[in-house]
Amino acid sequence: MAAILKAAHEEAWSKKWGVKVAAVISNKPQASGLMWLQAHAEFSNIKTEVIDHTLFESREAFDQSLMARIDLHAPELVVLAGFMRILTPAFVAHYQGRLINIHPSLLPAFAGLNTHQRAIDAGSKFAGATVHQVSVEVDQGQILAQAVVPVLEGDTAETLAARVLTQEHLIFPSAVAAFFKPQAVPRPTK
């Protein structure tokens, strides 16, 4: 999230394409992204909100509430950054073609959790990150961007994760910007 906000600010997305980050909505009251925003006054105009998923009786009820809050901002694009919840088919369908996520592997390899350790255990020579459209099937949507890093001798899940994260911070803002750039790669169809 921070990498996207910094890129939008430094690259003047609002002047270039009329694009602004309207809000940051978290399902966790103590999310690090919310703390980061509080510490950076230059982003004080971005609305923040918490919708604690633990207060809902079902995944569907939470997703309906989240959808209602997101829709108040009428976003052209919904970006999942550090949002570690599986979304309901209704939610995914509602934002089809304008809902993206980043995953810390070279999809389709290692969808789901524990990606770095799984890559090491499989003897992979390369790992990386993937920006993708969100689909009902977890981590299976259309690939929009990928970055590759080597898996080094002696890597742990933590050291590999740190190297992948540096690439995530480059490709995620770039993929978001590509969604808005005129003459950019065609947007996925609904």
The residues annotated as belonging to the active site are: 103
Q: In one letter, which amino acid is 188?
A: P
